[in-house]
Structure 1
């Protein structure tokens, strides 16, 4: 085989002229005698390196790639409903459970949460009653001393949390007690603004379905114990999972499967796995769907949300998987996450995945149960699904494969290059042919980045929310067009300097492979030290792409190795080839010449510029290696890039509304994806014919016109705004303010100004909008629609949050260099969630005049039990004797001590009427004793309590009418989510 490329006319010798004259003068009889038969001509016409053939292949590849990608990611085509009678029954019951669970919002701080808890309690009890011999239910609540107190650090703030748990935990005891148990977990709370269908109603319904399956009459006792954790209050701190780590049953567990939702529908994806050893068992599920690209994004904190997976892995030290719904993000945590926007097949996909994985793990011993399991099983997993096939590898194996590929592939191809240039000497390179592709690619990428920054973002910056794939197609068409024009333009400009015996497509392939080689070196170096925050487990596609590119180069070089120096024909004019101008010139009729295999080929018609060279000839090689190279590189690479682009873009493009950082990231993803989709075609871009060029021009015109006129927000792709109503008792006990959060310049102000309460306000409160940084803003106005918190008869919010100072030792200046103590009681009827933040007055400690630094004075916090109301109780331990960390005294009080300092205290209780009795221990400032500022040794405490109740009652039409208003009067292109853990926050600041 040899390359079949165009060459330039070369001033002919007399021998060439004689040969040409001989051929031209052979007459009709000569043609009829030597013309190849119809089959040979047909084969060459179909498979020769012709523009028509290439055009057809390009079109077929594009259509095939897009359709395969859509099929792979389609819920309808890749997931089928069950046919097994028991599975059908389980799915029907689970769907009914989901409908009941998602009937109303049910965040931890709402009465709806209690309704869901009671339903689950009754439902679980009814399921397990037939299997009570080896199935048991534990009510993990305060009656069983399940309250926990623990510390967590976020940034520079140390937060201590007091949490009263009410998880529902079921244990299906296995027949082999020596096997570590499998944990199945999902949380049953939602956020205040959502019905929680996919986050996490489907996870809970799937757990109920699995429990129903293992407790059915046909089910046998599993060999491995299964523990179900229906946990609460995941949304604002992963509290339910954290408290379960302290549960006695937790010590039995070795593996886990967490079911979650960070989107609102579609297919449930394998987000991440703790290691290869457990991730490989995901291959047992019937509809596998996952990519370690998302795992890389999670582990590198590109996805700004967390799940209970984090607790089980990092706090519990378990091995397991995180399976979740991941799109669309603009419905996530809004009222649109409801039954109407999902279907039963989504539930079945998650349920069947959990069922298949569980069956595999609990059916008997697995290799992870052995102490001497293969070390590579602890490696990070590299995995990918495609058309319901799933493959996974440990990172160490990928590193070994990459190193071998990095060494072997270049060596083989370099050896062939040495043979070609050192021995065969039948391939000639020119400087122009070597540099034109890198220059073209650089210019086109630079131009695309300029268009992105100066046009798309400036004209319609939020458009990726609704039209991300339109932008991607437009950018890809732009790159195609730029590279076609630049590289063919270079060919025309340097037409007279084009060498004989060259291979433009092979040169481009080698240059692309060199770029892949460099990227693969970087990726492999990082993979070798793979870790959280610097994870590269999603980069297996680089290895595959480099392998494909190297293989195509090998066949191209091999064709030159076996090409004899005389294996060519000479003919007049130029071939129709890679250097043909976009607007072709007048050409003469084709002529036929004999090749070295005694057959005729059709030469290209004569270019008008070449016709002046009477003695010109061109070299025409006869080979079909281009077809093999195209089939190796283009279809597979395009499908790989299309699938990866779909995963990433479909998963993150809605998060453009979250921050400026997310916006920049998504535009970068769009540009990188466009380059990646175009790269496989660029070795052949020289031969794009007018049809492809015309289509590209039309797509570019249509794309950029759409960017100007398309709307970024519509009913299917809404603008996501966040709501909270605030009351500051230090400012006014009666006034409340509506606060709306969203992206700057998104149209937020227009939405708020159209609210009736704002337009009809008698006081006509101004709308105040402030930038929050990172591209976000908050708009606030004084509301005429006060919320109803504890009682509909209250005319003031002072009764909804009362703080009584029970002990205030800071008034004693003799304790200036000792530990100061104080106690307060917080009374918040009909409330479950409060947050305390500690600071000095003015939040600073003054050491000398003009020098301030932040201070964290609180070293101990105490949550007193209900039975301990006597502030002078003698049985209390001396605070100086309290050990660091969490402890409980004889009276049942919860204590947490941290000498590094405590910034915040979270208080989460189940009893709606219970007040909080809190104690503090803090260190006074070391100051200039002559200073008279008494605030320097006072402790400032800011108390915020959150209400999230949305259920109307007999006396209350709607407890948060301002929120009801934004839901009712907002345009159809707006969706609403809560800003914080509640819809209303009441705050008060005190000094102790």
Structure 2
């Protein structure tokens, strides 16, 4: 006998250490890569001029200047920003030696140079101090529809395209503009708003967008870089107060010229700029040119179906204007959004470069497009009609590649997969049965002969139900954890989202490993992997059916990852089917078992080939060729030996036995892995790795990106009143999706990784249940408003936020000490789930004493009374109509609120537009008045329905708003909150005005 051979380790065998090492490395590597891509913004170029016409140093200085103070629409600083932008635009055009026309510049003298009117100017600057709009289709309060009257102060720069019509076509008659008869193709609109909220410096909302527009002007006015299509760069004012600036733009002639748009926005305070929304697949292809694309169609579907409640100018340009375009915005961290942490210090030049480079590449692509896709006309009511385009599906891969397809293409792929893959597997079933290799669900095999008709046990059913049982138990565990967090510490994800993720991921992995490994140890099965894939296939098929219905009926493309998931599961399962062809025919196996069983051992089994000693089995299967044949010599001897030699070695982890006859390659003489069915030793040992490569990486990447996107978008919306349970259930569902690819292989893992993960689970569970949910870096946002009844002087300050925490914040304020709090839960959608608490606060000083004509020592009730003046005159006693004259001191924003609804209204000086209704279908309960001038008197004519027999009265409130909070002492109650509130909290605006003062009326 030859000496024993040393054992060798196969690095691709389906054995514990290879499976553990490869799977762990893949998951850890991809998780790390996903986190880096999601949170690390691509570095800005070290060269301050990365492209001709782009200056990053100047852009950063512009951002610092723009965001050095609060500048809401209703503030003096807002006017300063407006004038500064005009000067910056002129500086850019002068530095590029560009002549330009000026249209309707007022208020400041910037020394603009005249242009030779005999030739079309390459650039025209519009300072729109004329457009106004009255509309009632954008906002609804708890009491009904709101009508808004707004006077815009938008700034627009028109960069003429080389293919644009000559002359000042925007000065054509209204009838000609409405006809759409103009030469050239429609232009490109690029938009950002330059107002901030009253509680935020607006660095990313929307300062980065604004300075990106300045750099776009510089780029496209640099000699040699004129676009083919004209570009309209819009700096709109009033976005934060119901998207008013975008509505005002639709009143300008340039709005009829633009057909595509790019909106730059901020719903966070840094990080990467993501593609929030897109109108169609065709326009999304322009964004695909970005050097670092980022985003998923899931966010667009969230907006489309109302899951995301905030809005941007995108909805105005597309919904009311009829344009097709893109919405690119920052989305995290939301805790800093609309707070004083939205400043240049808390963002970065890298974030600025990410948005700027995206805007530049997208705009260049849009302006270079020569197709007829976006050609259109202007309808009778002035709306641009460029068609709707094709519903699109899009997503990025690691922030570098970007996939775009039409939704109907995804639908066709989905239907094809749903139909073809079952047919393929059924066909393989038939072939395997005909070839006598159908081991799935095979219990026994009979060898029909005159000598022996006992069954051979195949145990093909073994392991079929273990994966779904373990899957359900592990999934139930993470769902249970979601309910547990919701009950004991519902807001922990606000600051510790990755601790929650760690808890859920480790819990699911540890539970399913414990179950599958334990069962496999007791009852090993060679088909566990294939049965697991079959169950995954069934689940993915059902999910794909649902996704396909969504694609076809609801135009939802968010199921793109399910299509990929199903395709990868199908491919992995196909390999398992092909593996079965490597097995011996069941008839041959039964014959072998009969021959291998020792005399008197009873009925043969599939492990009967291991019952006799090797030498005895070898002599039974390969008798000496010189032995003389007898009557009992098997007729199958020679054929059988040849048949066995055709099969490769099995995948057992044990080495072959020592042999003096190395040419013998009978797999049935080898040991199967760990007590699994003996016939499984004929299966290839390496195919599991190919299956894992097909199944794991692509799904980890796609689902992992979705997980991070949803986490960033949602985990801090809890402060807005969103329920915690849906968030945790969503995280639990994604946990299952991201770990399911390792399920078919997990029973091969060694105990080391699951043990470590179980310890991580215990630690994170403990932390998540007891840790405080907010921190200095992730502050709880509460909403401030101060309301003053001007006639009586009653002054109430209120904070709105999460119940329990908002009371704790208020008790830390000196002015609230010992005072009774009046708290109630808010029922309407904008603040649903939050608690509002009010108390008698410090008196505001938003109107200087010098403007009231009263000494500073007068009581507040006397001082307040003069802040707002109004007069109401009934048209006559026989009709339900009245005229309101309203004016407020040191403000340009007032309101009229009605306890009933008005059916018609007219605002003196207001323009009408057939695209917009001035009152809601059932009337309006509120009129919001915004003026570009300070202390402007408004005159409003209203009509209301009443009794047909006789006129009825009308009552309500006349109110004005104040927002200037950039100086200490103007709103002492707000100053106090900023000074004394806990470090884990921050304050944001609770309404359009920080201070709202009103008087009652009745007519």
* TM-score, length of structure 2 as denominator length: 0.81
Q: What whole-Å deviation, never above 9, does each CA across 1:582-639 have from its counterpart, x for those lacking one?
A: xxxxxx99984789736999858988xx9xxxxx978534412212111211222222
Counterpart of 1:965 (choices 954, 958, 976) is 976
| Structure 1 stretch displaced more, 307-316 or 436-445 | 436-445
- 1:561 Cα offset (Å): 2.4
Contact 2:260 2:374 in 1 (8 A): no
Who is 2:146 aligned against?
159
- 2:882 maps to 822
Q: 1:295 Cα deviation (Å)? A: 1.2
Superposed CA deviations along residues 386-426 of structure 1, whole A, max 9, x for unmatched, are 34111100111111111111112221122112222453244
In the alignment, is the contact (CA less than 8 A) between 1:884 and 1:899 conserved in 2?
A: no
CA distance in structure 1 between the partners assigned to 2:790 and 2:838 by the alignment: 17
Distance 2:243 2:909 in 1: 24
Aligned residues of 1:571 and 1:618 also touching (Cα < 8 A): no
Q: Tell me if the contact between 1:165 and 1:243 (Cα under 8 Å) persists in the aligned partners.
A: yes
Aligned residue for 2:890, secondary structure, equals: coil
- Tell me whether 1:149 sits opposite 2:98 in the alignment: no
Aligned to 2:632: none
Question: What secondary structure does 2:268 align onto?
Answer: coil
Query: Within the alignment, does 1:639 sit opposite 2:701 as a pair?
Result: yes
Q: C-alpha displacement at 1:323, in angstroms? A: 0.7
| Residues 558-569 of structure 1 aligned to structure 2 (within 5 Å) | 558-565=578-585
Residue pairs, 1:251-290, within 5 angstroms = 251-290=256-295
C-alpha spacing 1:572/1:736, structure 2 compared with 1 (3 Å) = farther
Task: Quote how far apart the aligned CAs of 1:374 are.
Answer: 13
Partners of 1:82 and 1:516 in 2: CA distance: 49
Residue 97 of structure 1 deviates from its aligned partner by 1.1
Deviation at 1:88, TM superposition (A): 8.0
Which residue pairs with 1:940 in the alignment?
A: 955
Structure 1 equivalent of residue 85 of structure 2: 120
1:52 aligns with 2:39: no
CA 1:601 to 1:237, structure 2 compared with 1: closer, same or farther past 3 Å? farther
What's 1:140 paired with? 128
After TM superposition, list the pairs within 5 Å mapping 1:61-76 onto structure 2. 61-76=26-41
User: What are the residue-to-residue correspondences of 1:216-235 with 2, within 5 Å?
Assistant: 216=222, 218-235=223-240
1:471 to 497, 500, 507: 500
Contact 1:69 1:642 (8 Å CA) reproduced: yes
Moved more, 798-807 or 769-778: 798-807
Contact 2:506 2:757 in 1 (8 A): yes
Residue aligning to 1:459: 488
Deviation at 1:765, TM superposition (A): 2.6
In structure 2, distance between residues paired with 1:959 and 1:386: 48
- Give distance in 2, aligned partners of 1:606 and 1:163: 77
Partner of 2:824: 770
Residue pair 1:282, 1:357 contacting (<8 A) in 2 also: yes
CA distance in structure 2 between the aligned counterparts of 1:685 and 1:898, rounded to whole angstroms: 60
Using the TM superposition, give the Cα deviation of residue 85 of structure 1 relative to its aligned residue in structure 2, in angstroms.
5.3
Distance 2:716 2:919 in 1: 42
* Contact 2:583–2:680 under 8 Å retained in 1: no
Aligned length: 859
Q: Cα–Cα, structure 1 residues 435 and 925, in superposed 2: closer, same or farther, change >3 Å?
A: farther
User: Given the alignment, which residue of 728, 735, 740 partners 1:679?
Assistant: 740
- Name structure 2 gaps, 5 residues minimum: 101-120, 165-183, 378-384, 442-459, 593-606, 613-652, 851-855
Distance 1:471 1:899, change over 3 A: closer
Give the SS at the match of 2:777. Answer: coil
Cα offsets for 1:150-200 (capped at 9, x unmatched):
221645833221111100011111121212111010000010000000000
Correspondence 1:864 to 2:879: no
Matches within 5 A, 1:435-450: 435-450=465-480
> Contact 1:376/1:394 (CA < 8 Å) preserved in 2?
no
- 2:518 is aligned with 1:519: no
Q: Secondary structure at the match of 1:937?
A: coil
**What is the distance in 2 between the residues matched to 1:806 and 1:273?**
47
1:175 maps onto 2:152 in alignment:
no
How many angstroms does 1:79 deviate by?
Answer: 6.1
Matched, 1:915 2:937: yes
Q: Distance in 2 between matches of 1:491 and 1:196?
A: 59
The CA distance in 2 between the partners of 1:490 and 1:513, in whole Å, is 22
* Residue 749 (str. 1) matches residue 807 (str. 2): yes
1:529 and 2:553 correspond: yes
Choose the corresponding residue for 1:186, options 185, 192, 201.
Answer: 192
Cα offset, 1:371, TM superposition:
7.7
Task: Check the 8 A contact 1:79/1:287 in 2, yes or no.
Answer: no
Q: 1:90 aligns with which of 55, 67, 74?
A: 55
- Alignment-derived partner of residue 785 in structure 2: 724
Shift of 1:835: 2.3
1:758 aligns with 2:816: yes
Measure, in 2, the Cα distance between the counterparts of 1:958 and 1:399.
60
SS at match of 2:778: coil
Q: Does 1:648 align with 2:714?
A: no
Greater CA drift, 366-375 or 256-265? 366-375
Displacement of 1:669: 1.9
- The answer to whether the 8 A contact 1:509-1:549 is kept is yes
With over 3 angstroms needed to count, the CA separation of the structure-2 counterparts of 1:196 and 1:637, relative to structure 1, is same
Q: Secondary structure at the match of 2:928?
A: strand
The more displaced of 164-173 and 353-362 is 353-362
With over 3 angstroms needed to count, the CA separation of the structure-2 counterparts of 1:396 and 1:705, relative to structure 1, is same
1:786 is aligned to 844
User: Residues 234, 593 of structure 1: CA spacing in aligned structure 2 closer, same or farther, 3 A cutoff?
Assistant: farther
Contact 2:550 2:557 in 1 (8 A): no
Distance 1:593 1:905 in 2: 94
Aligned to 1:664: 725
How far is the alpha carbon of 1:723 from its aligned partner? Answer: 0.8
2:968 is the alignment partner of 1:986: no
Change (3 A) 1:439 1:424: same
Aligned counterparts of 1:64 and 1:308: Cα–Cα separation in 2: 39
For 1:691 and 1:901, how far apart are their aligned partners in 2?
68
CA distance 1:450–1:860, shift in 2 (3 Å): same
CA contact (8 A) 1:78 1:387 kept: no
Query: Using the alignment, how far apart are the partners of 1:969 and 1:752 within structure 2?
Result: 9
Where does residue 891 of structure 1 map in the other structure?
none
Alignment pair present for 1:417 and 2:417: no
Aligned residue for 2:476, secondary structure, equals helix
- Give the direction of change, closer, same or farther, for the CA distance of 1:572–1:948 in structure 2 (3 Å limit): farther
Counterpart CA distance in 2 for 1:821 and 1:77 is 60
